[in-house]
Structure 1
Amino acid sequence: MGCDVSLAKRCFADRTSLIDELAARDESFRDLCDDFATADRLRLSFNKTAVPNGDGRLAEYVELVNSLRDEIATVLDNAVIVPFPCQEKGRRGGGRGV
């Protein structure tokens, strides 16, 4: 199954690189983005069709989409990418006099 991060990228356009990086290494983030895209597609389909109890279902999908968007925002806010420290040339042992 493919990973659909397109909606997440549209909603968080200033964080597309981080979204790509997280999607490449984190299966639960990919699943979250897929769920977000699926819920939004269902929201759009309920918005366009007249079905019995459609207003209630539409409200549920709107709430779900908003909740997933908030969850993605939290994941992005909490994502910390810690670079490995560069070791100076000619020094070994981390400066411990080895």
Structure 2
Amino acid sequence: MHHAVQAAIAHLPDRGHAIEELAKADEGFLSLCEDLAEAQAALMRWERSDAPVGTARCSEYRELVRDLVAELETTLDRNANGQESP
């Protein structure tokens, strides 16, 4: 399984099957999963950082992760309702 798909499933475990299936069928959705994985990795790096801007960056990446998860949910819902994903 693609690491980005695993990252998405970690945030939405109850939708794991739908995430796997849509990621196989939709390059845009897979790209969104990749964005989430990268944002999550960056957040983890900033959480370990001693840099003065670390707290601010953590906040920014947490918000980005939340936004990407929300976008994944919207895309999954749209797909489940028979509409094409963006």
TM-score, scaled to structure 1: 0.75
Following the alignment from structure 1 to structure 2, what is the Cα–Cα distance between the partners of residues 81 and 21?
15
Aligned length: 81
- Partner SS, residue 80 of structure 2: coil
Deviations 1:48-97 (A, max 9, x none): 11113111111111110110011001111111376xxxxxxxxxxxxxxx
CA contact (8 A) 2:3 2:37 kept: no
Identity %: 36
The aligned amino acid for 1:19 is: I
Structure with the largest fraction of helix: 2
1:10 aligned partner: 10
CA contact (8 A) 1:5 1:34 kept: yes
1:72 aligned partner: 72
Structure 2 runs not aligned, ≥5 long:
none
- Partner SS, residue 4 of structure 2: coil
TM-score, scaled to structure 2: 0.84
| Deviant stretches of 4+, over 6 Å | none
